Structure 1
């Protein structure tokens, strides 16, 4: 029996929201960092971010995740108020404990240095925070003193323990413990307090706010020391701060599109990292991990900052932060490239092979402004993309710059062949999918009525000669095999039907196995196999000549159905999904 191995996960970027801080977590050993996107927690290797792992056990959107100081566990919190504590050492990430400290979105989590107590804060209904023992859930104090949502919390990593919090009520709060008791409010900020963090040595802590201010305090007493940068640390709101391992410096991320490196002793900025001029260049998160200084832009891009060249990051991790809707693969110069288009119109280029495996890139210039529905590379090495913004784009894959745009209403059926764009309008049926025979003589159009109509290609027009074949239900996707011998059609009745082209489109085989609507398919280069993906989150790899011989990939993306399939070669399949990640599977027959 054939089997499959998922040998690479190309992870999504953090899910970002304008004006909302993004908390990054750091592995205490300094090897990994983590963040959240949708219902997933993504763990990435800091030296090689292409190495990633995804935790997918939350039933609701995850908002924050933090390593325990021991490094053995991660605590992650979601919008429902659930905290899950799970193992980092096993591939399965077994659940250790689950708690519901309050009902509502969890916005930040902090551990004590012995990994025994956890504080969490957020948008609770009756209360905005809780502190409890990690192994029993028993309360070890009360987080009070705030009248609005608490955005941030941290615990001093040396004894005596102290806890600080920052809230939308423009105040911070200082607690002594355990058990933690409210001591006093910090009222220096004039707007929301977005982030509070203790220095690793526990001697100081800082608060950062939407007023552009960062204040320093004594870690043990809570006494104010100074304001960084005098009157204002940043021109825009400050969303995140992160201390250096030696507690002498810190970085701050701001909506003014800069990150600043501060010397704590002199309270002055040593370096200002200018991250761009676009609104998507606002900085909403940061992390100082060993020698690495990271920041996160509103775009979701993760920047590795360079102290010696503040205007150009050492590297920028690109990718998708929204659900992926379309996919194609293209070989160029001996290397394979995966092109994927997402819900927000973003197109990502993922290179495979050589020293650049897993490196993401994008096209320069103004791209699509809405969901990318289909894409393919034509004979002239142009990426042809069709979008819900009513445009088709022809973009050179070598120049990597958005160029020629053709505007069409995508309410029409639209399919592209050798730089020709065919449109069919005034139809008496609802078209759902289209495909052109590799020989260029026939265009097949599948309808919501379950019929596949066959048009002959004549110059720049499609001629209806009254030929059609029947699928088992409303058509969802279709594709010709690479050699043009077969046409495969998927439908809402959970069936894939393969027609033999040379035999006047007679039915070769019907393929049953999916438990829900089949939504996408792709032919292998060997023309003997094809893959299908359904709403049941299953991927099947079928053998054309034997409908019973199939390879099943259950839960290919765990949380969502597969939205795109493409083959790199006859043993390597690529899948994309609404989880914004790309997976590469090695198939052995």
Structure 2
């Protein structure tokens, strides 16, 4: 009995309106990296569904950069801490840890020999520091700014030069090492968001919220020109990235465009229009070998092709906010994973390749709390926006007509053949048939938490916040109280019938898992113990002999229905957060989701 991680479908970058996002690139050009929450995510640039996640930061990770050697990554967080860790081992062993500034780290730069690094951001006494990577000893003084420093870069050839860009509308130029302040660059009239040296060191550019990009001499910091004349973009410029041969530059702007510049001529040679919505603002970019990447405010990662600027050649979608629920459904014979997140976004993934997309049209406007599929090939979702939605999985677009408004906020949804849906709301249980409410239970003497319909469609089970599972028979279009209540140790947090309807499994906040035999008048089949904290999600394997539970203790257990001692334990399934959803692709493949906005698939061997 064993388990191993099969796939990681990584989260998107966490974005903030009006704040630049730094994307790092591997010196060999194989991977790129960014941050989301406390995670640093490394993705393969050719196949972004191959991902690795670093989870050792105690605070929100804000920026990560490879050392030019490629052997180490330095990542900074919101507390001012820098961690330098190994990229060659799977364990990512920590090499050094420093706290060079006392606030959020905004950018990191290395010298080309991977021996010195500069760190800038927000702080109290100072906004930047430059030091030796292995001792932390200072190799200069980054002063000259009175507000947070947004960006730093170091010329990748000797003699070294360093440039900064700050919220005080100025840039600054340093010579070194040790790095000494030379002069202030006063050409921008708004925040300076990004500063980058060309790979050959001849030039560097500064990009600002005023829509301007200025080009300077790399060796002495003299102004050469302003790209695009008066203005480079109609909106603030958040990021720039040089081509490997130093002849061209890409820039990402809040005007929802990315431009490629011929640096010698100072003119834009290609403009990519990436949409008209606010979420299409471009806040980050990276030129990595032949790949041109930009990041939208939505978190979507766009792969651009200079030969076809009309639209990206591919767009990497997914979740940037915590995932709350998931389900698995076969479409055209292939398993697809459907996941819903805190911001109302629903994504679907090919379970084998990781290719993914989202539904078109207007969907939920708040957290997707629970989801399931029905026999009419529909995804049934309930949300904190007080609606229940039915979405046709063949059309993959939201339907405005297939929305049911609930009287109270729905917490749980379950379906059964014949068009039946059971929705548990705050203080109310609602039965629907063919997308229409047919029966409502009000004025209950308990608070319903979660519901489950028997696959046969004749029984509804409802778990309560005070404990116990109440059984109702479905007679025509009504729910009839059976008078039978199954005892539980505490408040019911989740439950589900096995696919064949033989068993009902229940989890509660007292960390007890129970399985009842349906045919034997719901007699207790087995009790399971192992979670250290409240279990919150449960899913049956298609073999009807095993089921998985996930808890606030970050542990997933796979239980055997006949033997409570035969279990498989997945500790730290998602290192930083509890498991929020479970589903099975097949009897040997379990899918887990969490508040880290990532999806993981595990191979289970019994």
Q: What is the rounded CA distance, in whole Å, between the counterparts of 2:403 and 2:291 in structure 1?
A: 40
Q: What is the rounded CA distance, in whole Å, between the counterparts of 1:269 and 1:460 in structure 2?
A: 66
Partner of 1:434: 451
Partner of 1:582: 599
Map Cα deviations across residues 358-384 of structure 1 (whole Å, 9 max, x no partner).
Answer: 111110001111110111111111111
The equivalent position to 1:408 in structure 2, one of 400, 406, 409, is 406
Q: What is the rounded CA distance, in whole Å, between the counterparts of 2:474 and 2:261 in structure 1?
A: 66
CA deviation after TM superposition for structure 1 residue 316, in Å: 0.4
* CA shift in 2, pair 1:257/1:447, >3 Å: same
Partner of 1:552: 569
Q: What is the rounded CA distance, in whole Å, between the counterparts of 2:262 and 2:125 in structure 1?
A: 40
CA deviation after TM superposition for structure 1 residue 392, in Å: 1.0
Q: What is the rounded CA distance, in whole Å, between the counterparts of 2:145 and 2:584 in structure 1?
A: 54
Partner of 2:556: 539
Q: Is contact 1:16-1:300 (8 Å) kept?
A: yes
Answer yes or no: is 1:471 the counterpart of 2:488. yes
CA deviation after TM superposition for structure 1 residue 458, in Å: 2.2
* CA shift in 2, pair 1:410/1:89, >3 Å: farther
TM-score (norm 2): 0.95
Q: What is the rounded CA distance, in whole Å, between the counterparts of 1:266 and 1:146 in structure 2?
A: 32
Partner of 1:134: 133
Partner of 1:523: 540
CA deviation after TM superposition for structure 1 residue 420, in Å: 3.7
The equivalent position to 2:387 in structure 1, one of 372, 388, 391, is 391
CA deviation after TM superposition for structure 1 residue 428, in Å: 2.1
CA deviation after TM superposition for structure 1 residue 53, in Å: 0.4
TM-score (norm 1): 0.98
Q: Is contact 2:539-2:582 (8 Å) kept?
A: yes
CA deviation after TM superposition for structure 1 residue 421, in Å: 4.2
Q: Is contact 1:387-1:410 (8 Å) kept?
A: no
Runs of 4+ in 1 over 4 A off after TM superposition: none
Partner of 1:51: 50
Q: Is contact 1:388-1:410 (8 Å) kept?
A: no
CA deviation after TM superposition for structure 1 residue 411, in Å: 3.1
* CA shift in 2, pair 1:64/1:502, >3 Å: same
Map Cα deviations across residues 129-186 of structure 1 (whole Å, 9 max, x no partner).
Answer: 0000000000000110000011110000011101111111000011111111111111
CA deviation after TM superposition for structure 1 residue 308, in Å: 1.4
CA deviation after TM superposition for structure 1 residue 410, in Å: 4.1
Q: Is contact 1:295-1:303 (8 Å) kept?
A: yes
Map Cα deviations across residues 526-550 of structure 1 (whole Å, 9 max, x no partner).
Answer: 0100000010000000000000000
Q: What is the rounded CA distance, in whole Å, between the counterparts of 2:403 and 2:305 in structure 1?
A: 37
Q: What is the rounded CA distance, in whole Å, between the counterparts of 1:331 and 1:557 in structure 2?
A: 25
CA deviation after TM superposition for structure 1 residue 409, in Å: 3.5
Partner of 2:515: 498
Answer yes or no: is 1:484 the counterpart of 2:501. yes
Partner of 1:363: 359
CA deviation after TM superposition for structure 1 residue 204, in Å: 0.4
Q: Is contact 1:252-1:260 (8 Å) kept?
A: yes
Q: Is contact 2:369-2:411 (8 Å) kept?
A: no
Partner of 2:436: none
> Where do residues 31-42 of structure 1 align in structure 2 (5 Å cutoff)?
31-42=30-41
Q: Is contact 1:414-1:421 (8 Å) kept?
A: no
Which segment drifts farther, 420-429 or 83-92? Answer: 420-429
Q: CA RMSD in A?
A: 1.0
* CA shift in 2, pair 1:457/1:414, >3 Å: farther
The equivalent position to 2:590 in structure 1, one of 563, 573, 588, is 573
Q: Is contact 2:383-2:410 (8 Å) kept?
A: no
Q: What is the rounded CA distance, in whole Å, between the counterparts of 2:149 and 2:478 in structure 1?
A: 62
Q: Is contact 2:370-2:413 (8 Å) kept?
A: no
Equivalent residues, number: 585
Tell me the SS of whatever aligns to 1:546: coil
CA deviation after TM superposition for structure 1 residue 220, in Å: 0.6
Tell me the SS of whatever aligns to 1:350: strand
CA deviation after TM superposition for structure 1 residue 199, in Å: 0.4
CA deviation after TM superposition for structure 1 residue 460, in Å: 2.7
Map Cα deviations across residues 534-582 of structure 1 (whole Å, 9 max, x no partner).
Answer: 1000000000000000000000011111000000111000000000000
CA deviation after TM superposition for structure 1 residue 414, in Å: 5.5
Partner of 2:374: 378
